[in-house]
């Protein structure tokens, strides 16, 4: 009777072990393993959906050389910024030029 119970326990252990085998990502000899669960940000999204702006995603990481002439200071400042920043510039300066690979866009606000 005892041996039957023992046999059952062993068989169950083997069955669970076999089932569990191969169900985890296996990594040998790496320095570090970092793992985080994903959580769907429903509450953030319901609030962020009120954001009016539509980001120029396709241009967002394109770098433009921006030449800015401030209206009251006679200063010309040139810097390289992502195109997305032109939204900010357009509302805060008088004249701007965006140059990228020969493409020039000028604006006035």
Partner 1 sequence: MRRLLSGLVIALFGILAVSLLSAAQQGVISLANPSIPAVGSSFLEEEAGITCYTKVYAVDLIEAERAFKNVEKKTSEYIVGSVRVPGYAESHDVHVYADRTGWIVAYYLAKEPASKIIDWLDYSGGMITSTKLEDALVKVTNALSVELPYVIYYDFRYPAATKIMIITDEETGNEAETFRMRIPSDYTVHSRTWSLAVHANTKWSDSYTQGTVKIDGTELRSGRAYGKSWSIWNGSITPTQLSPDTYHTVLVRNNENHGKGTSYVGIVLIYRG
Residues that bind partner 1 (CB under 8 A): 3-4, 7-8, 10-12, 14-16, 18-19, 22-55, 57, 60-61, 63, 80-82, 84-85, 87-88
Q: How far is the CB of 71 from partner 1 (least distance, A)?
A: 20
Contacts of 76 (CB under 8 A, 6+ apart): 67, 68, 69
CB closer to partner 1, 1 vs 74: 1
Q: CB 96: neighbour CB atoms within 10 A?
A: 19
Q: How far is the CB of 98 from partner 1 (least distance, A)?
A: 15
Contacts of 67 (CB under 8 A, 6+ apart): 76, 77, 78, 96, 97, 99
CA pair distance 8, 54, nearest whole angstrom: 63
- H/E element, 101: none
Contact 9, 16 (CB under 8 A): no
CB closer to partner 1, 34 vs 74: 34
Q: How far is the CB of 68 from partner 1 (least distance, A)?
A: 14
Q: How far is the CB of 101 from partner 1 (least distance, A)?
A: 16
CB closer to partner 1, 4 vs 74: 4
């Amino acid at each position: 009777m005892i041996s039957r119970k023992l046999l059952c326990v062993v068989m169950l252990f083997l069955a669970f072990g076999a089932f569990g085998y191969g169900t985890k990502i296996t990594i040998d000899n790496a320095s570090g393993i970092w793992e985080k669960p994903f959580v769907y940000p429903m509450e953030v999204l319901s609030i962020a959906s009120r954001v009016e702006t539509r980001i120029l995603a396709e241009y967002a990481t394109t770098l433009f050389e921006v030449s800015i002439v401030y209206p009251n200071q006679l200063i010309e400042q040139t810097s390289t910024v992502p195109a997305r920043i032109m939204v900010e510039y357009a509302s805060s300066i008088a004249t701007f030029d965006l140059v990228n690979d020969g493409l020039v866009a000028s604006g006035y606000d």
